Structure 1
């Protein structure tokens, strides 16, 4: 099962305009933000929340929606923890 998980952008990678460091449940990973653009393009920037699916930021969401989605995902139990384990082992850089 693949889930879209909310994450907060904590850094934009200066040498890769299509990547940002996103924190999801304490795990930091590079995520492709190419579908959304950067804050200079009215896209995303540091502090924004995005919905991440298979290494891509699919949409920008607000913090309240992120919190509600994370609460729902935690309730899924094993499917959520499996997804976090997969995230910990991933690297797209």
Structure 2
């Protein structure tokens, strides 16, 4: 099973890559598979280093809140 955590575009590069922020972790990924243009602030889903699609900001925020809750519950169990 693959889970895709919403990531926010924070930088756009000339080589069809973007830098995204995924829950505080920044990484550079390919946007070669996207037909729609990306803008800074867009939320995207990534699979194996490629942006697969944009998602609505509200949906992204709801998902991120749930992931944060999972992280906090796991930390409590340690």
Normalized against structure 1, the TM-score is what? 0.65
Q: What corresponds to 1:89 in structure 2?
A: none
Structure 2: runs of 5+ lacking an equivalent:
72-78
For 1:73 and 1:61, the matched residues in 2 are separated by 16
Larger radius of gyration: 2
- Determine whether 1:35 maps to 2:33: yes
**Displacement, 1:73?**
2.5
**Displacement, 1:11?**
0.8
Q: What corresponds to 2:43 in structure 1?
A: 49
Of 57, 68, 71, the residue aligned with 2:62 is 68
Q: What corresponds to 1:81 in structure 2?
A: none
Q: 3-state SS of the aligned residue for 1:59?
A: strand
Structure 1: runs of 5+ lacking an equivalent:
78-93
Normalized against structure 2, the TM-score is what? 0.76
Give CA-to-partner distance per residue, 1:12-65, whole Å, 9 cap, x none: 112x12x1000111111001111114xxxx421211110122211111011111
- Count of paired positions: 73
Q: What corresponds to 2:18 in structure 1?
A: 20
Moved over 6 A (4+): none
